Amino acid sequence: MIRVMKSETLAGELEDHLAQWSARTGITVETWALPASDVPARVSRGVLAVVREALANVERHSGASTASIAVTAGRGGLRLTVSDNGTGAVPECAGHGMRAAFAELGGTLSVHGVPGEGTTVTGTLRRW
């Protein structure tokens, strides 16, 4: 039997990255959901790229004290949400790299900020 280490699944890689990022930045991470089943490697890479870019933006631009993450996957596809409680300022050019990563997978991604309330990045993949 081959044992899969936690960090070799999308959920495990996300948990590892979120813990390291939170420890390094001092920003609290709330994890609402992580995928119960694994996804194809290319989907995992795309999701991780989006999460990394979204969290880099939280760290650099938002002034947030908390970031919240939810990733769910199933027969109907995958849904990703990264939100923060920061300034909510979203520059016009925000999210181009994240949108491109999801578009390559056949998905869509939006970035929405509410001044003084925070920013939410939402991505959806219908199939892989």
Model confidence pLDDT, tens digit, residues 12-33: 999 999 999 999 999 999 999 9
Joined tokens for residue 96: 């181009």
Position 1 in a domain: no
Domain CATH number, residue 73? 3.30.565.10
| Whole-number pLDDT of residue 6 | 47
What is the extent of the structural domain holding 84?
6-125
Model confidence pLDDT, tens digit, residues 42-96: 999 999 999 999 999 999 888 999 999 999 998 889 999 999 999 987 766 667 8
| Count of domains observed in the chain | 1
Position 20 in a domain: yes
Q: What per-residue string of b and e applies to 25-54 under the rule 16 or more CB within 10 Å gives b?
A: bebebeeeebbeeebeeebbbbbbbbbebb
